[in-house]
Amino acid sequence: MICKTPTFTLAVLFVASIFLVALTPAAEAHVGLLRPCARGSPRAGCPAPSNGQRVDYDLNSPIGTRGSRDSPICKQSIPNANRPVYKAGETINTQYSVGASHGGGHCQWALSYDNGKTWVVVKTMLRDCLKGISGGAAYSVPVKIPSTAPSGKAIFMWLWNNAIGNRELYSNCADIEIKGVKGGSITGPQALIANYGSDSALIPEFGSGGRDDGSAAFNTRKTITVRA
């Protein structure tokens, strides 16, 4: 006896497979913040979107290029209702979903207490951020919250300018709460927003050779002080 699969069933399976293939590159390409959970993250263990947020299935995609601004800083402007609590002086072991690391590049980690209007950088990695990391590999960077950080609701932001490929900017944000110092403050560089529209600073493609990597722009960042 020969069993035949109905033509309709085969058609449905074919369409479904195409749909899944189409989704995979968007979900896995490039790099996105895995932990702490970014706004709208569909990753396991992250809270469901809240307050009108959307699920971000393109968490690893850039927010813009040298010629365009495709998404806002943080990718979504609505904060999470659930906020993990960190103490001033505590180290966050940030983790990333890596699809393609584009030769590494420059990374900044920053905090904002005024809903993203002002960003003070708490850690910078030039050239070596994500360098040599293959797609699918685990990647983690320890980022310390300054011991002088004030208490309050804050946004933790990750920025990445890739070394090889299109001149892009990647960004994800996690909403957190900091148990810190009463009347405390954080002093550090203001975040450099580069390769994000034609009027932004340019970080050129530099790879692993001796080409200009645009790092001089980071030396010109304004020093700022933020308070809750």
Average model confidence (pLDDT) for the chain?
89
Q: Answer yes or no: are the C-beta atoms of 37 and 155 closer than 8 Å.
A: no
Query: Contact, 149 vs 88, CB < 8 A?
Result: yes
CATH number at residue 120: 2.70.50.70
Do residues 50 and 81 lie in contact, with contact meaning Cβ atoms separated by under 8 Å? yes
Q: What is the pLDDT of residues 139-195, one digit of tens each?
A: 999 999 999 999 999 999 999 999 999 999 999 999 999 999 999 999 999 999 999
In a domain, 9, yes or no: no
| pLDDT at position 26 | 40
Domain assignment present for 27: no
pLDDT for 107-124, tens place per residue? 999 999 999 999 999 999
Average pLDDT rounded to a whole number, residues 198-218: 90
- Which pLDDT score is estimated for 12? 40
Q: Rounded to an integer, what distance in angstroms lies between the CA atom of residue 99 and that of residue 61?
A: 10
Percent of the chain's residues with pLDDT above 90: 82
Among the listed ranges 27-31, 47-51, 55-59, 82-86, which one has the minimum average pLDDT value?
27-31
In this prediction, residue 50 carries a pLDDT of 86
Is 144 domain-assigned? yes
pLDDT at 23 over 80: no
Q: Is 103 within 8 Å of 164 (Cβ atoms)?
A: yes
Percent of the chain whose pLDDT exceeds 70: 86
pLDDT tens by residue, 87-100: 999 999 999 999 99
DSSP for residue 158: E
Q: Is residue 24 part of a domain?
A: no
pLDDT of residue 16: 42
Q: Is 200 helix (H, G, I), strand (E, B) or coil?
A: coil
pLDDT confidence tier of residue 20, bands split at 50, 70 and 90:
very low
Domain that holds residue 60: 33-227
How many folded domains does the chain comprise?
A: 1
Residues comprising the chain, all counted: 228
The average pLDDT across 40-53 equals: 91
Residues 169 and 66: their CA atoms lie apart, in Å, by 8
The residue-averaged pLDDT of 116-143 equals 96
Query: Two tokens at 90?
Result: 């505590």
User: How does DSSP classify residue 82?
Assistant: -
**What pLDDT, on a 0 to 100 scale, did the predictor assign at position 6?**
53
Domain presence at residue 20: no
**Any domain includes 6:** no
| DSSP, res 145 | P
First to last CA, the chain: 75
Q: Which two tokens stand for residue 115?
A: 């809903």
What pLDDT sits at residue 208? 67
Cα 127 from chain centre: 17
